[in-house]
A = this chain, B = another copy of it.
Amino acid sequence: MAAELSPEKLSEIHRPTLDQALDAIRTRAYWSPHPEHPKAYGTEGLAGSLGAAEGKAAFDAVLNTRLDLGQPGTDGWTGGEISPYGPELGVEYPHADPDVLLPAMSAAMGSWRAAGPETRALVCLEILARISARTHELAHAVMHTSGQAFVMAFQAGGPHAQDRGLEAVAYAFEEQTRTPRSADWSKPQGKRDPLRLHKSYTAAGRGISLLIGCNTFPTWNGYPGLFASLATGNPVLVKPHPRAVLPLALTVQLAREVLTQAGFDPNLVAMAAERPGEGIAKTLAVRPEVKIIDYTGSTAFGDWLETNARQAQVYTEKAGVNTIVVDSTDDYRGMLSNLAFSLSLYSGQMCTTPQNILIPRDGITTDSGAKTYEEVVTDIAAAVNGLLGDDARANGLLGALVNPDVKARLEGASALGEVALASRTVVNPDFPEAVVRTPVLVKLDGAESDDDAPYLSECFGPVSFAVAVGSSGEALDLLRRTIREKGAMTVGAYTTSPEVERAVEDVCFEESAQLSLNLTGGVYVNQTAAFSDFHGSGGNPAANAALCDGAFVSNRFRVVEVRRQA
């Protein structure tokens, strides 16, 4: 029986997009095939996509149902997600017996390997297209698991996540096709006949790839590993965070649908939801069939995986401490508003949110004149207050706190130092149960740089520290120490001095951290754009891989050569 989605048809639909993606990762100019605006979807927008009302209806329809993915080895049902906005989702997911599911997934590898890199890439692009068409539905799923406000859940959980998935497919395709499918080799032997061999080169996946999802960005942080592994020939088992199952369950459902229609075994993508407290990630991570693991989450569990899952390639994004160095600026107002937005977005619950703002104790020079440390801190606080003064706008930026741990850290922050900006409770009229809080800014002294200094640990959530330092030189020393010991996903700096700029760059080159300089407009240090920006460096303790580069894909497959006498 012919597949509904033949390689030819997939090529006709998606090859131009793949080529554009390949071009984008080489030029790193702006590009995205996934519209950011919610109005770009629906009957008058992207072909076949759900509009706002349809997406909401689709989301509502899945609530309080059993989501049967048709997987082998389903031995029960589990669920229990509660939205950070209040409602119980009531969705039940299959619970898998790994002794049945994993062998079924492994058995799917052969024909997927034989399909070759291009067909695998095109199938992945069709999966991404189906996901894109249901962006509105997925936006609600991301919002009600992560606590992100709707627009952010839509953009970061939708087009931006899809971009990162596509970027991973492009890297995977390029990496696998650096070596040709075959070569004729002829080595001269002087007067004798040359030695001749015919050689074939096959990109072979390594085994089952385990995706351990996170609570805050289930799709954005999940898609790169999922698609990088699938595109390189590996079955992918998705183990979602127990509080953020739905976005990945819908993703798995769409992937299985596409794989079937393209004539492949749907078990190339499957899900392992867990019962409360079951902790199946530890069990799955050390299964011999699991050869690749992608993980986003705590340093403790990331370290556990790296130490114990030795049979697998382990890609981890863990905790880090992000720093902003404030040396001087020629756009003081722009700096303040840019920082205020960065601190507020999603209540600081991004792995890229700045935590430590290093400000010279003697103040800085600006286009508005010299500013003391106190003035800078006061002005940042005022900028945040200005940004979040309106409750509707505050709700749209902050979203809800994702879990009680974040709330506890926020509440404990005021004991760490003098509070320059107190957190305030915002009421969300649509979801009165949502825990919505503005960020707190606490003043600390960088001279007390013992290991217990609060600014030397990640305080995940809407907590930032205005750290007084003796000089910009001291700021750079602290920056270096923080990156080296604690890791950093992002570094920002404001300076008008070429010398300071060069010195910050050198620290980032030497400690391997991504740097944003003098951002004062509509781009924020905590945001990266696929195809152009690297997310993390992979070279400091915050993450052992960057999204996305050659290193993220090159060890997910091996090239097996077969040579024959010609």
Contact = CB atoms under 8 A, between A and B. Distances in A.
A28 B179 CA distance: 8
Interface stretch (A196-204, A257-265, A362-370): A196-204
Contacts of A29: 183-186
A516 B564 CA distance: 6
Interface in A488-536: 505-506, 508-510, 512-523, 529, 532-534
Contacts of A562: 505, 508, 515-517
B533 A559 contact: no
Interface in A87-109: 109
Given A113-B509, A185-B529, A195-B523, A178 B550 contact: yes
B555 A538 contact: yes
Contacts of A185: 28-30, 529, 532
A558 B532 contact: no
B180 A565 contact: no
B522 A561 contact: no
A539 interface: yes
A310 interface: yes
A175 interface: yes
A48 B488 CA distance: 50
Contact of A521 (B183, B195, B204): B195
A558 B518 CA distance: 23
A558 B529 contact: no
A408 interface: no
Contact of A533 (B199, B506, B533): B199
B512 A204 contact: yes
A81 interface: no
Interface in A151-199: 174-175, 178-180, 183-189, 195, 197, 199
A126 to B, nearest CB: 25
Nearest to A509: B204
Nearest to A109: B510
A234 to B, nearest CB: 12
Interface residues of A, number: 69
Contacts of A509: 110, 113, 202, 204, 560
Given A529-B185, A529-B187, A550-B178, A560 B30 contact: no
Contacts of A27: 180, 183
A163 to B, nearest CB: 12
Nearest to A505: B562
Given A204-B539, A509-B202, A559 B534 contact: yes
A554 interface: yes
A537 interface: yes
A226 interface: no
B180 A510 contact: no
Contacts of A518: 564-565
Contacts of A180: 26-28
A550 B554 contact: yes
B310 A512 contact: no
Nearest to A523: B195
A175 B299 CA distance: 29
A551 B533 CA distance: 21
Interface in A341-366: none
A342 to B, nearest CB: 14
Q: Which residue of A180, A505, A533, A551 has the most chain B CB atoms within 10 A of its CB atom?
A: A551
A324 B188 CA distance: 27
A318 to B, nearest CB: 14
A559 B537 contact: yes
A518 B562 CA distance: 11
B550 A110 contact: no
15 contacts: A27-B180, A28-B199, A30-B185, A30-B187, A109-B510, A187-B529, A306-B310, A508-B560, A516-B563, A517-B564, A517-B565, A523-B565, A546-B559, A549-B554, A554-B554
Interface of A: 25-30, 109-110, 113, 174-175, 178-180, 183-189, 195, 197, 199, 201-202, 204, 206, 306-307, 310, 505-506, 508-510, 512-523, 529, 532-534, 537-539, 546, 549-551, 554-555, 558-565
Given A179-B549, A187-B529, A204-B512, 12 more contacts: A27-B180, A28-B201, A30-B187, A174-B178, A199-B533, A514-B560, A523-B563, A523-B565, A539-B560, A550-B550, A551-B554, A555-B555
